[in-house]
Structure 1
Amino acid sequence: MTSPAYSSASQWYREGGQASHVRTMKSPGGILDLLEIEGQAGDRSRPAVPDITLYQDVHGGCRIRGDLGGGRFGLTTKKGGIVLAAPNFATTTIADTSHRVRCLAFPMAQWESVLDEATSGRFSSDSSYVYGRVFDCPNIRSALRNLWALCDEQGAPSGLLARAAGCEILAELCRLCGAPLGPTKGGLAPWAERRCLELMRARLSDDVSLDELAAEAQLSPFHFARMFKQSLGVPPRVYLTRLRLERACDLLETTDLPVTEIAFEVGYSSNQVLARVFTKHRRMSPSDYRRAVRDPVRQISMSAKGPALATFEVQQ
């Protein structure tokens, strides 16, 4: 393998020869690099970067050939198909058709210790047989879809959301690379669950990190994320959205604070972001919700048309 020519995949796609093909780029604090790339047929080779990088074909039917670190290959992708590129390897990729791909890069400086701990040192980024293969992994597809949906709703995801989503995806990559994780022995201890939820509620307006929550539970971030889901039924990122919406509903019902101020109070960057999240999960805008809960006649009318105002679901 060659020495890295760029510090990250994000730097290459910002500054390299293919920068004009980048349509979307979101990088939450260097935890994950999220990009969408669109281009015509041609050479899409890339210099070495110290990231494990996933590429997902958005439309399918792209004919590509080259070497992503696991030897020469040639294939036609399917919609949603995922291929993996090795870190610290100058990839060769020739696209014979136009294409639109989503790229998710894990900077190894952020994730290597997590991977080592999660697999008791069994994970190796040199597992060359996985690079250049097409993975049909429903769990990774679902996690990527949810991560992009969060980006569409909220812009660059918060550190907690990015870290938690990365842990979900890496758990599947470990399995695919032959270093499966051991079974989770149980959920969070009652004291740990209580303290973590208290911290999340107290820090709704901040970007509380997965590492902080894990430290509160005296666990590693990777194992905390898995045990949290076992205890609460959903990943930390989903539970955080649930808490934010519950608090927003409470403020809309009981205060006259402007929607913009409520958005900041529950951790969203603007009233537009709150409105997108709120409308997706409550099927109405924050302002409509406030009017409905304060107008008994309208509340009865709207309850008859859909889910009860007091309940909601946040998709996983």
Structure 2
Amino acid sequence: MTLQAYSSFAQWYSEGRLSTYVRTMKSAGGALSMLEVEQPAGDVSDPAVPDLVLHQDLLGGSRISGDVGGGRFNARSEKGNFLLARPNFANAIMMETSHRVRSVSFPVAQWQDKLDEAVDARFLFDFQDLHRGWFAAPAIWSALRQLWALCDEQGIPSRLLAQAAGCEILAELCRLVGAPLAPVKGGLAPWAERRSLELMRVRLSEDISLDELAVEARLSPFHFARMFKQSVGVPPRVHLTRLRVEKACELLERTDLPVTEIALEVGYSSNQVLARVFMKHRRMSPSDYRRAVRDPARSSVSFRPLSALEGRE
């Protein structure tokens, strides 16, 4: 069968013959696309697209045969295992039973320069044995689980969230094939740390990208993300969430702005998104927080001081 040409993996699953099986799809600024599909047994082959695509089996126990760019294989998956499809390769895939899969695609055009800078050479997007069947990767599983949870919390992932998660996943793929990125020696220079932190503060309401922060520090995005964590103690995306929650607390305490306006002021698309973030990090709604700090004697909620903000991702 001749498959129509598609410009991306996301377009294929939006418009192709398997589109009816998509349950969730999220894309962020061209950096990556995420989707979850529930498909019946049979032929689930994909056309060649200019994306590196990582699939995770959420159920396990299904036998798959085919070729995703590293030669033919026939193997049974386990829950959480991954399959890595090579860019610009028409996959031939047959599934023995129905299955549920989460996939994340990396457009080569968006990641080529970043990886070139990270390895100081032309990156070939060839992950060798990882294209030859199922493999386990606990670190990637953890990163994807956190990314998916944050998307459920915040909606469409921000550019910073998507790019930082992409760097983490791609760096781990490189490590698995014995080609790890150059080790980071120390954290950010003091001037670079000051500039990047200030940029995050002054552009709190914007969809700032990892690329922009890296440029400010004169580093590649991969190196910046790792050096930022060494200096600050948490990844850039986690620090940005902290700043947003802290600013929201300040506005709730000191102004009478509606919660909807406060959400927009700190970079969230709606008061519902702010409420989900607030519930996770403060264990109360924004309105309950405002009541607790302004009239604690009449508040029915237990107040946690601003200094108790959690550092969890």
What TM-score range do you get, normalising by the shorter chain? Answer: over 0.9
**Residues 217-244 of structure 1, C-alpha deviation per residue, up to 9 Å, x if partnerless?**
1111111111101111111111111111
Partner Cα separation in structure 1 for residue 306 and residue 202 of structure 2 = 24
Equivalence for 1:86:
86
Are the aligned partners of 1:4 and 1:49 in contact in 2 as well (CA < 8 Å)?
no
Cα deviations across residues 5-26 of structure 1 (Å, max 9, x unaligned)?
Answer: 2111011111111011111111
Secondary structure class of the residue paired with 2:28: coil
Report the AA paired with residue 297 of structure 1. Answer: A
Query: How big is the shift at 1:126?
Result: 3.3
1:95 equivalent in alignment to 2:95: yes
Distance 1:301 1:149 in 2: 26
Q: Is the 8 A contact 2:45 2:91 kept in 1?
A: yes
Question: Are the aligned partners of 2:288 and 2:301 in contact in 1 as well (CA < 8 Å)?
Answer: no
- Indicate if the aligned counterparts of 1:30 and 1:107 stay in contact, CA closer than 8 A: yes
Query: What is the 5 A alignment of 1:5-20?
Result: 5-20=5-20
Q: What displacement does 1:308 show?
A: 4.3
Structure 1 position 296, deviation (Å): 2.9
Match of 2:213 in 1: 213
CA distance in 2 between partners of 1:132 and 1:102 (Å): 19
**Which residue matches 2:28?**
28
Gaps of 5+ in 1: none
Contact 2:127 2:173 in 1 (8 A): no
Aligned-partner Cα distance in 2 for 1:309–1:44 = 50
Tell me the distance in 2 between the aligned counterparts of 1:54 and 1:225.
Answer: 21
> Number of residues paired by the alignment?
312
- How has the CA–CA distance of structure 1 residues 250 and 274 changed in structure 2, closer, same or farther, with 3 Å as cutoff? same
| CA distance in structure 1 between the aligned counterparts of 2:75 and 2:143, rounded to whole angstroms | 24
2:40 paired with 1:40? yes
**Cross-structure match for 2:182:** 182
The answer (yes or no) to whether the contact 2:60–2:77 under 8 Å persists in 1 is: yes
Q: Please report how far the alpha carbon of residue 59 of structure 1 lies from its aligned counterpart in structure 2 after TM superposition.
A: 2.0
Whole-angstrom CA distance in 2 between matches of 1:75 and 1:119? 33
**1:146 aligned partner, one-letter code:** Q
Cα offset for 1:128? 3.6
The 2-side partners of 1:132 and 1:156 are apart by: 32
Q: Is the 8 A contact 1:119 1:179 kept in 2?
A: no
Q: CA RMSD in A?
A: 1.9
Distance 2:127 2:244 in 1: 40
The answer to whether 1:276 aligns with 2:273 is: no
Q: Report SS of the residue matched to 2:308.
A: coil
Opposite residue 201 of structure 1, the aligned amino acid is: R
The equivalent of 2:198 in structure 1 is 198
- TM-score by length of structure 2 reads 0.95
Deviations 1:138-188 (A, max 9, x none): 221111011111110111111111111111111101112332112101100
- State percent identity of aligned pairs: 68
Query: What is residue 115 of structure 2 aligned with on the other side?
Result: 115
In the aligned structure 2, how far is the partner of 1:101 from the partner of 1:118?
30
Of 74-83 and 220-229, more deviation after overlay is shown by 74-83
The answer for unaligned runs of 5 or more in structure 2 is none
Q: Which position in structure 1 is the counterpart of 2:309?
A: 312
1:77 Cα offset (Å):
1.6
2:233 paired residue number: 233
